[in-house]
Amino acid sequence: MQALVVAVFLFAAAGGDADTKTVIGPKNPALARGAEALLAGDAEEGIRLTEQALAVAQGSRERGAAYANLCAGYALIEEFETAIGYCDQALEETPRNWRALSNRALAKIELGQYAEAEVDLDRGQEIAPNATKLKRVRARLLDITDPVTPTITIDDRRDPNADEDDDEGV
C-alpha cells in the first residue's frame, strides 16, 4: 500500500536553499479513494476513481496497483475479459502481484478457463502461500472442477412396523 506519510524535499532554484514539505495521506488520493469504493462494493465509482489515478500514477508499483484494482472492479461488474486485460497489465508492471493473479484466476473461472485459472493460482501460491484469498479462489475452482458429492446412506434395516414410543423393556 501507499505510504501514509511522505516527506518531499524541494530545492529552490535560486540560492540552493532546501525547503521541506510534508505531505500527509496517500501519494495518489484517487487511487486510495478508488480502492475504498471497490471495497465498499461500488464498482463503477471505484473504476472511475482508479482510472483518474492511473492517469497520474508514478512508478510501476502505483501503476500495477491501479491496474490490479481495475481488474477487480471489472470483475465486480462481470466484465471478465476486460478484467483479465487489466490483470495482465498489472502483472507486466508488478510480476509478483499475487492479488492480480488471484483476480485473473477468478475471472478465468467465470469464463470457464479452468486450466489457465489453475496456473494463475499455482503461481500466486508460490508468491504468497498463506494468502486466504488465493485459497478461497482455489476452493471455488475445485467446487466447479472436482465437486464434493455427498454420500448419503439410508439405513433401512429398521422395522417399519415398530412404534417409536414403545417403552417395552424399559
Domain chopping of the chain, boundaries: 5-9+20-145
Dihedral angle computed from the Cα positions of residues 129, 148, 111 and 67, in that order, rounded to the nearest 10 degrees: -20
pLDDT tens sequence for the chain (170 residues): 333 222 222 222 233 344 444 445 578 899 999 999 999 999 999 999 999 999 999 999 999 999 999 999 999 999 999 999 999 999 999 999 999 999 999 999 999 999 999 999 999 999 999 999 999 999 999 999 998 888 887 777 766 666 555 555 55
State the architecture of 5-9+20-145 in CATH terms: Alpha Horseshoe (1.25)
- Taking Cα atoms as reference points, which of 23, 68, 24 lies closest to residue 46? 68
